[in-house]
Chain A
């Protein structure tokens, strides 16, 4: 039963991502000034952020569990938290890359002083600091405890930063600082039919990669 369920969600994730990739390139999109065909990047850029946040939440969950459990169980959960954070960073890099290309074509520069971009930079720096902390502690139990507390502390501040602060300041991104959100004007029902499957598909792929990395780490140990 468990195997069948596991196969079902992985197959669904792969199918949703395949569908969103094909539909994302060929389905009709609204004709909008400046955005033009680059609006298709919505299907590739935004799901990366959703996946990053989902995987960071998974990492947080394992860190919280690791702090509560003693001994070997704590170490195993800490390892899972680390691997989820590593995969989240890969998605952050992909989100950044797709966003920079989009920004170049619509805003004229790869990087602007935008609250959302600053939020991304902070998220990446926080998790790089998390890995620096891990590498500076030799004792595994102490490492699990320190990394777990930092992960919880950092995640909450990061969510405040990327979720709350951009709404208080001006931003070039849709839905912030007085700009209309994609949802209110530009994201028509045809786009929603591609966008939401892309989000769920990529989150599934992210979780699958984390699971594979956990299994691989068990084997290499």
Chain B
């Protein structure tokens, strides 16, 4: 019930942000279209990651008895990644609805490429933010601190995702897209692997 309410909140947040963007920039160029989409996805992912580790102490005490720190990270990260993928899909659909697709990408094949690059990129953003959110929650659950810690670490992922989605938007071949998509996949797995190793130290009482 709580999860469904949260999902609805994130989708509402995405819808309102997209509409706000539409009222401000009704006819963006393809590069601005992509940049605005990533901004909306990034802020939705940040909200989702912050909330995932913002739990009362009593709940953490209970969860700590049930699972190891690495398992907790995987559990929370899975939630954040799923939420972010859902909000990114919603954002992409809303962007197509309000702005339409740029002329270079007006085909089903191009849409599939854009969807793949946006989904993988958003999931990669979520996996990095899950760990920084865990860190920020240990340092006093301050959302500003979480943003300060996350944004520099997100830049590599943002740049890889931007490259992948730019190529997808230009409707390049799948062979051309393979490397950036693999980069996004690596940026999804690397923070999870690192986080699993570091979580026992971070979560120590």
Query: Complex Cα distance A54/B198, Å?
Result: 22
Does B155 touch A at the CB level, under 8 Å? yes
Contacts A145-B204, A149-B201, A149-B202; A165 near B131 (Cβ below 8 A): no
Query: Complex Cα distance A153/B202, Å?
Result: 11
Which chain A residues (132-181) contact chain B, with CB distance < 8 Å? 132-133, 136-137, 142, 145-146, 148-150, 152-154, 156-157, 160-161, 165, 168-169
Interface size class of B (residues with CB under 8 A): 20 to 34
Q: Are A133 and B152 in contact (CB under 8 A)?
A: no
Does B86 touch A at the CB level, under 8 Å? no
Contacts A125-B152, A129-B148, A137-B139; A145 near B201 (Cβ below 8 A): yes
Contacts A142-B138, A149-B201; A168 near B179 (Cβ below 8 A): yes
Give the Cβ gap from B195 to chain A, nearest Cβ, in Å: 7
Does A126 touch B at the CB level, under 8 Å? yes
Does A122 touch B at the CB level, under 8 Å? yes
Does A118 touch B at the CB level, under 8 Å? yes
Interface size class of A (residues with CB under 8 A): 20 to 34
- Contact residues in A for B186 (Cβ distance below 8 Å): 160
- Contact residues in B for A122 (Cβ distance below 8 Å): 152, 155-156
Q: Are B151 and A125 in contact (CB under 8 A)?
A: yes
Residue in B closest to A66 when the chains form the complex, CB atoms = B201
Residue in A closest to B179 when the chains form the complex, CB atoms = A168
Residue in B closest to A150 when the chains form the complex, CB atoms = B135
30 contacts between A and B (CB under 8 A): A67-B198, A122-B152, A122-B156, A129-B148, A129-B149, A129-B152, A132-B149, A133-B135, A133-B139, A133-B145, A133-B149, A136-B142, A137-B139, A145-B201, A145-B204, A146-B135, A146-B138, A150-B135, A150-B149, A152-B198, A153-B191, A153-B194, A153-B195, A160-B186, A160-B190, A161-B155, A168-B179, A168-B180, A169-B159, A169-B163
- Chain B interface (Cβ < 8 Å from any Cβ of A): 128, 131, 135, 138-140, 142, 145, 148-149, 151-153, 155-156, 159-160, 163, 179-180, 183, 186-187, 190-191, 194-195, 198, 201-202, 204
- Chain A interface (Cβ < 8 Å from any Cβ of B): 67, 115, 118, 121-122, 125-126, 128-129, 132-133, 136-137, 142, 145-146, 148-150, 152-154, 156-157, 160-161, 165, 168-169
What 5 pairs across the A-B complex have the smallest Cβ distances? A125-B152, A161-B156, A126-B152, A149-B198, A149-B202
